[in-house]
Amino acid sequence: GAGVSQTPSNKVTEKGKYVELRCDPISGHTALYWYRQSLGQGPEFLIYFQGTGAADDSGLPNDRFFAVRPEGSVSTLKIQRTERGDSAVYLCASSLGTGQSNSPLHFGNGTRLTVT
């Protein structure tokens, strides 16, 4: 079946611009996660949704970052006033429910964001 879909696959933007990154989770998955992966590093947690609500946004680096999931399915990660340090691969994952009980995370292929 269809996996987690992320668009765009690549995004190049100028410093100071606003960007939106989209994630379509696997159908029926109630939990959705955003991670950020810098070059040569493992993914780092940003935010977690259970349904429509952000259950934990403690990984967001600052208030320029915001994410929504208005209908409990598609999610959008929004970055305002982008900085060069925001350049990374942004990964979205989904799972059947909370925690990891019999519901491992399934990752999308990510959006590579480059801020020039």
- CA angle, 90 then 94 then 100, to 5°: 115
Contact 50, 30 (CB under 8 A): yes
In Å, how far are 6, 20, 52, 86, 110 from 28, measured between CA atoms?
17, 23, 13, 31, 20
Number of shown-chain residues binding another protein (CB under 8 A): 26
Q: How far apart are CA 13 and CA 2, in angstroms?
A: 29
Q: Which is nearer to another protein, 16 or 97 (CB)?
A: 97
Binding flags for another protein, 35-64, as an x/- string (CB under 8 A):
-----xxxxxx--x------xx--x-----
Cβ distance to another protein smaller for residue 3 or 16? 3
For residues 59 and 47, is the Cβ–Cβ distance under 8 A? Answer: yes
Provide the mask over 76-115, with x wherever binding to another protein is found by CB under 8 A and - wherever it is not.
---------------x-x----xxxx--xxxxxxx-----
Binding region for another protein (CB under 8 A): 4, 31, 33, 40-45, 48, 55-56, 59, 91, 93, 98-101, 104-110
